[in-house]
Structure 1
Amino acid sequence: MKYSFLILAIVLLSCSGNKTVKVKGSDTEVNLAVQFAEAFHRYKPSLFVSVSGGGSGLGIASLLNGTADIANASRRINDKELALFREKGIALDSFIFAQDAIAFIVSDDLPLASISTRQLADVLSGKARNWEQITGKRLPVNIYGRQSNSGTHDFVKDRLHISFSPQAKQMNGNAQILEAIRADHSGIGYVGAGYVIHGANRGIKVLPVYTTDKAAAVSPLDAAKIAAGKYFFQRPLFQYFRAKDSIQVRPFIAFEQSPEGQKIINVGGYYPAKK
C-alpha cells in the first residue's frame, strides 16, 4: 500500500478528533502490535495506539462492547461471536495482516530432536503421560498451554483434532509458558514462533514437526518453509474492526500494510500474509 494513502488516512483521522486507537486481543500478536504502534507514533506523535493482550476471545468481546477499536485474533471469529454482533446490528470488517507459526518447546536437555503430529496429539491429550515411550527417558509429561479464550489454544486443539488433557496447566500468555518450560525439564508447551526467535530461547528447545515417518521435520523458524506453506502449524493472524470505524482505524492498518510495516513483521519473527 502506498504512503500517499497512509498520509491521507492520517489526515482524516486527525480531523475526526479521536486521538487514541485501542487494540486488544491475541497474546500472540501483542509484541508485533506494540512494535507497530511505536513505529506508527513516530509518524503521528499526537495519535496514540494503545495495545493490550488477554486472548483472541477477549479482543473480540472488547470490540463487541466498545472497549476496543481493533481486535487482534489468532483465529477466525466463530459463528457464536458473529451472531452477537448481528444482534447488536454491528457490521464487521477484517483483514489478515501477517502469518504466525506455533512453536512447540521443551527443555533443552530433554532427549528429543523432533516430534510427529501423532506424538503431539498423544502428549497434549494426555494419552501419553510419560516421555519414556517417545524419548526412552522416564519422566512425567507436564503440559503448559493457553487458556480456553486463546486463539492459539483453539488452533492447536482443532489442528490435532483433540481435547487437551485435564491436567494441562493453563497459562496467561507466551512469556509464562517460556518461563515454565525453562523451570520444568519434563514440560512441553506451545508459543508463537516470534517469541523464540529473538533471544527468548535460553534453556528451551524448539521442536521441528513432521506429519508422517516419511516426511521431513519442519521447524517453525524456517522462513522459507513457512513461505511455501510447509509447516503444519502455521496460521493467519487477523484484525477485526467495526465497519463504521473504518476511517478511524484505517491509518494504523495502512501502516501495517506499508513497506515499513512489512519490515517490522519480518524483523519481529512473524511472516508476511500470503497474497
Structure 2
Amino acid sequence: MKQKIINYFPSFCVISLFFFNSCSTNTNSIKMKGSDTEVNLAVNLAEEFTELDPTFSIAISGGGSGLGITSLMNGQADIANSSRPLSDEEIQQFKEKDIEIKTIVFAEDATAFVVHKDLPLEELSVDTLGQILSGKIKNWNEIIDVDQPINIYGRQSSSGTHSFIKKKLKIEFSNTAKEMTGNAQIIEGVKADKTGIGYVGAGYVAHDPNSGQKVKILKIRENATAVAYSPLDPDAINNSLYYFQRPLYQFVLAKSWDKVRPFINFERGGIGRKLIEDHGYYTLENQQHEI
C-alpha cells in the first residue's frame, strides 16, 4: 500500500492530503515533519511499515529540523525528525506550553562535505574547512592549484545540519554562502559548479549512486598531521573517528505515543534496521528491543 505514504517535498507548500479512508480523526494517521537529512529514510521506513500494516497512513514532509520541532510544538506533527538535539530555548518553550515529549535516538549519521568531481582535492583539515565556510579563505588557489573563487552551498538556519556544522567548527557562515532548501539542491548545485563546496547527510549521498558520479566526498582530518577519514567509512564511524558524526533524533508528542509506538518498534526491528543501514546510516545496539 505504498499509496498510503504522503511525501511533501520541502520546497513546496504542505497540503493536507489523505488517501483512502485516512482523515484527520484517524487514530492510525501519523504526521512526521522535520530534518531533510532524514526525509528519504523516513519515507522508505514508512512505506515498508504501511505495507505490513495498511491500517496506518503516514504523512511526511521535510523543511529542516527547526521546522519539525516548531510543528511539534504547534500540534501540527506527531513526530519531529531532527539532526540536532533540542536547544535550551526549545526545551523551555515546551515546558511553558506544558507539552510532554519523548526523545528517541534511532541512528547515527555523518555529514559529508562534497566538491565537484573534477576539483583536484581529496581531503581537508577541520581548520581549513572552517576558514573556507566562514569566508576567510575565498579562492581555491590558497590551498590547491586552482585559481577560482570558492562557492559555498549550505543550508538555511532552520536546518539541524547547518547548526551542527556551525557549532562543530565554531564559526559564522560566510554571508556569501548560498542557502539551499535541502540535500538534493546542494548536490545539484555542486554537480554544476566546479568551484563549489557543500555539505549533506552522508546517508543521503550514499543512498544516491548517481550523486557519486559528479561529486566527490572529501576526507576530513582533525588537524594537519591527523589521519583523514571518510564519512562513508563504517569502521571510522563505529570508532567515533570521523569529526562530523552525530546522532539522529525523533521527538514524539507524549499524547501521540500509543499511536506512534508500532512505527517506532518497526524502526528498531530487523527490517527497519536494515533500511537504516541501506541508506548509509549506522544503527545503535540499544535499538534491538520493543518499547
**Distance in 1 (alpha carbons) for counterparts of 2:161 and 2:224:** 26
The answer (yes or no) to whether the contact 1:74–1:236 under 8 Å persists in 2 is: yes
| Residue matched to 1:129 | 138
The answer (yes or no) to whether the contact 1:125–1:162 under 8 Å persists in 2 is: yes
Query: Which blocks of at least 5 consecutive residues in structure 2 are unaligned?
Result: 1-24, 287-291
| Residue matched to 1:221 | 232
**Distance in 1 (alpha carbons) for counterparts of 2:39 and 2:285:** 21
| Residue matched to 1:56 | 65
51-60 vs 80-89, greater mean Cα deviation: 80-89
The answer (yes or no) to whether the contact 2:28–2:259 under 8 Å persists in 1 is: no
Identity of aligned residues (%): 51
| Residue matched to 1:195 | 204
| TM-score of the superposed pair, with normalisation by structure 1 | 0.92
| Residue matched to 2:116 | 107
| Greater relative CO (CA pairs within 8 A, separation 6+) | 1
**Distance in 1 (alpha carbons) for counterparts of 2:116 and 2:192:** 8
Q: C-alpha deviations, 1:248-269, integer Å up to 9, x for none? A: 1111111111111111111111
**Distance in 2 (alpha carbons) for counterparts of 1:264 and 1:55:** 22
CA displacement at 1:273 relative to structure 2: 2.8
Kindly tell me the number of residue pairs found equivalent between the two proteins. 260
CA displacement at 1:202 relative to structure 2: 2.0
Query: Which blocks of at least 5 consecutive residues in structure 1 are unaligned?
Result: 1-15
Give the 5 Å matches for 1:19-58: 19-58=28-67
Amino acid at match of 2:202: A
**Distance in 2 (alpha carbons) for counterparts of 1:232 and 1:138:** 28
Amino acid at match of 1:224: D
CA displacement at 1:89 relative to structure 2: 0.8
The answer (yes or no) to whether the contact 1:143–1:188 under 8 Å persists in 2 is: yes
Do structure 1's residue 158 and structure 2's residue 167 form an aligned pair? yes
| TM-score of the superposed pair, with normalisation by structure 2 | 0.87
**Distance in 1 (alpha carbons) for counterparts of 2:107 and 2:240:** 13
**Distance in 2 (alpha carbons) for counterparts of 1:270 and 1:128:** 31
Corresponding residue SS for 1:144: strand
Q: C-alpha deviations, 1:97-151, integer Å up to 9, x for none? A: 0011100000011111111101100000000000101112111010000000000
The list of structure 1 runs, each at least 4 consecutive aligned residues, that deviate by more than 2 angstroms after superposition, is none
**Distance in 2 (alpha carbons) for counterparts of 1:161 and 1:261:** 35
Partner of residue 177 from structure 1, selected from 165, 178, 186: 186
| Residue matched to 2:289 | none
| Residue matched to 1:272 | 283
Give the root-mean-square deviation of aligned CA atoms: 1.2
The answer (yes or no) to whether the contact 2:107–2:281 under 8 Å persists in 1 is: yes
Corresponding residue SS for 1:201: helix
CA displacement at 1:213 relative to structure 2: 2.2
